[in-house]
Amino acid sequence: MIHSRNRRLRVNESIRSLVRENILTTDDFVMPIFVMEGENQQEAIPSMPGIFRRSVDLTVKECKELFSLGVKSVNLYMKVSEHLKDNTGKEAWNRDGLMQQTIKAIKDAVPGMIVMPDVALDPYSIYGHDGIIENGKIMNDATNDALARMSVSHAEAGADIVAPSDMMDGRVLAIREALEESGFTDVGILSYSAKYASSFYGPFRSALDSAPKDNLEIPKDKKTYQMDFHNSREALNEVFKDIDEGADIIMIKPGLPYLDIVSKVREAIDLPIAVYNVSGEYAMVKAAAQNGWLDNDKTIIESLTCFKRAGADMIFTYFAKEAAIILNK
């Protein structure tokens, strides 16, 4: 005779929900948003069905709708005009730049929205790299100086949290010191501590034209600064260093193929953990759903819940708006 039957706790939905270990809510989501120049402009991103580049005015409108659905955080990326790109990234800290305009506009229109601008030079670089290049190499320390200036300009515009995604060594400390010296002691740092050199970023790079340019004199990829996907212990090393330098939140990117990293970091630290459900993951689900191979809504909710089960506290996801609509039903 069987005395212990695990299925007793799966008999019906009421019992299953009573003993459920992880609950997904709209509070868990950060929506990445692509911004472009112009007014009343919107462009579809073919590789990411349902995702658009929008001008500032339409971005504000989208933020209002997101907030009404319960999505209270956005992560900003700029589609920078070619004539503004160079090898210094100076447009990144232009007080009247597109990023700074966007931060101000969102905070004016939706004061409760948490605005997390991306901190990296690749959208501003003529080379498509996250760093300043000299003699064919990515210059770590010179890039850190630029990232610090960029972060302070974001804080001046009203950003709540800056999100360095570049993977330069020591950049969290450089940004933290610059923010402190400028009086922005309450502005947080969400550090992409374990960001892997991944094939899953393709649709994102096409959305921003931020892929490394085909130039024999520069690195053809980002493997000299982003992490090797074969490694896991290295992720803990990166995380611990960023915490020591003043990071407030730790990011792991990509997401679904890297849940082992999320779980390992969760066991090692007490700080909040963010995970990025990246563009390639989004595109795969959308392609399969459009072909009738997957149930769109069920797959979205299951995937996002897996991040929480692995130990993430917040999820950067292009599904944020769609998932909020599903959950609000």
Helix (H, G, I), strand (E, B) or coil at 117: strand
Instruction: Note the pLDDT tens digit of each residue in 164-180.
Output: 999 999 999 999 999 99
| Whole-angstrom distance, CA of residue 107 vs CA of residue 114 | 8
How much of the chain exceeds pLDDT 90, in percent?
A: 91
| Whole-angstrom distance, CA of residue 209 vs CA of residue 80 | 9
- What is the average pLDDT across 5-9? 93
Catalytic residue, candidates 85, 107, 222, 253:
253
Q: How confident is the model at residue 218 (pLDDT cuts 50, 70, 90)?
A: confident
Give the model's pLDDT for residue 216. Answer: 58
| Whole-angstrom distance, CA of residue 28 vs CA of residue 255 | 14
Give the model's pLDDT for residue 214. Answer: 67
pTM for the whole thing?
Answer: 0.95
Q: Is 90 a catalytic residue?
A: no
How much of the chain exceeds pLDDT 70, in percent?
A: 98
Instruction: Note the pLDDT tens digit of each residue in 48-97.
Output: 999 999 999 999 999 999 999 999 999 999 999 999 999 999 999 999 99
Residue 206 neighbours by CB under 8 Å, 6+ apart: 45, 47
Q: What angle do CA 201, 205, 208 make, to 5 degrees?
A: 145
Phi, psi of 181 (to 5 degrees): -65, -25
- Do 47 and 279 touch, CB atoms closer than 8 A? yes
Is it the case that residue 212 has pLDDT exceeding 80?
no
Catalytic residue, candidates 195, 286, 308, 321:
195
Q: Is 195 a catalytic residue?
A: yes
Q: 């979205």: which residue's tokens?
A: 300
| Whole-angstrom distance, CA of residue 112 vs CA of residue 26 | 15
| Whole-angstrom distance, CA of residue 174 vs CA of residue 148 | 6
- What is the average pLDDT across 8-20? 94
Is it the case that residue 19 has pLDDT exceeding 90?
yes
- The pair of structure tokens assigned to 10 is 């799966």
